[in-house]
A and B are shown apart, each in its own frame.
Chain A
Amino acid sequence: GQNIDQPTEMTATEGAIVQINCTYQTSGFNGLFWYQQHAGEAPTFLSYNVLDGLEEKGRFSSFLSRSKGYSYLLLKELQMKDSASYLCAALDSNYQLIWGAGTKLIIKP
């Protein structure tokens, strides 16, 4: 079956760095997405990786290892507004997104 695993909840301190991991098992693979979702709001796109390696976009970076079925989202210089759920999703061979349950990130002052 298809499966996405990510931690349910993480806590970090304002100004620090946090890494949110995601492992995936899908039938075929056409890329890995990360979305941010604030409470009561819609998911919004953060990053997309299809090749191995690190993609950096400001304070956020995303890494992919296709051979390991593994990705992580790295958030630097954490701000209180980064408190949200972070959703990992893999694009399968039918170009359908398979979603993880999300990681709730709590930022403490």
Chain B
Amino acid sequence: IAGITQAPTSQILAAGRRMTLRCTQDMRHNAMYWYRQDLGLGLRLIHYSNTAGTTGKGEVPDGYSVSRANTDDFPLTLASAVPSQTSVYFCASSDSSSREFTEQFFGPGTRLTVL
């Protein structure tokens, strides 16, 4: 693994189904993030984790949950998908130990369609 990987690349999901988007990084970054990107809108933060074992809510957390059992993995779960969750989902990570420079590295994204 080099950087951040996400799975699946794309998915079509029936409304009401449960879905987990996977994210793994091998850079030993403390912080990880989940964003959604919709046409005409900026990236919006769903949830974040500053370190393993802790998580926090971002701008649009409703309908999503996350866990951070270890440094490398940060899965995002949609408990009961709805069509408004159709979006491109990006996972990102950063070295939060450096407060002066917190460049985020992004995974390739997951394109999710909820019908």
Contacts and interface: CB of A to CB of B under 8 A. Distances in A.
Contact of B108 (A41, A50, A96, A102): A41
A99 B40 CA distance: 12
Interface stretch (B67-75, B77-85, B99-107): B99-107
Interface residues of A, number: 22
Contacts of B42: 4, 87, 89, 98-102
Nearest to B96: A95
A48 interface: yes
A31 B99 CA distance: 10
Interface residues of B, number: 21
A33 interface: yes
B90 A99 contact: no
Interface in B83-115: 90, 96, 99-109
Interface string A35-47: 0000001111100
A84 interface: no
Contact of A96 (B58, B100, B109): B58
A48 B108 contact: no
